[in-house]
Amino acid sequence: MKNRVLLEDYHMPGDLEQQIGAFVEYYNTQRYHESPNTVTPADVYFGRDKAILRERERSRNRQSDSAACNTRNKPHHQSHERARASNAQAALMSHFI
């Protein structure tokens, strides 16, 4: 956006002012910045940043809890699966002996 403002030819002062205003609006309200925790400057200025960061943390915790639950429901090692398969095979073979 900044390059677009710099590279265009403006024949009227109002055109330049309008493009600068659009750039400032974009920069402050839509573009996420890394330094203030990837929130917009407007979020920080109006105090919305703390609520946004709390909601992101809650979302991360929900995802983490969901992943932990999925991990608990799976066998921890392939050896458990192999042992179950061996036991089933032994039980099957005992019918033929």
Q: Is residue 87 part of a domain?
A: no
- Number of domains forming the structure of the chain: 1
Reported as a single tens digit per residue, the pLDDT across 39-65 is: 888 888 899 999 999 998 999 888 887
Range of the domain at 21: 2-72
Neighbour-count burial of 37, counting CB atoms closer than 10 A to its CB (0-12 exposed, 13-18 middle, 19+ buried): middle
Q: Tell me the C-alpha distance between 4 and 10, whole Å.
A: 11
Q: Is residue 82 part of a domain?
A: no
pLDDT of residue 71: 62
Q: Is residue 81 part of a domain?
A: no
This model's pTM is above 0.85: no
Q: Is residue 28 part of a domain?
A: yes
Q: Which helix (H) or strand (E) holds 2?
A: helix 2-7
Q: Is residue 97 part of a domain?
A: no
DSSP 8-state code for residue 76: S
Reported as a single tens digit per residue, the pLDDT across 72-94 is: 655 555 555 666 666 666 655 55
Q: Is residue 26 part of a domain?
A: yes
Q: Is residue 89 part of a domain?
A: no
Inter-residue contact 60 to 46 (CB < 8 Å): no
Q: Is residue 12 part of a domain?
A: yes
Which has more pLDDT, 32 or 30?
A: 30
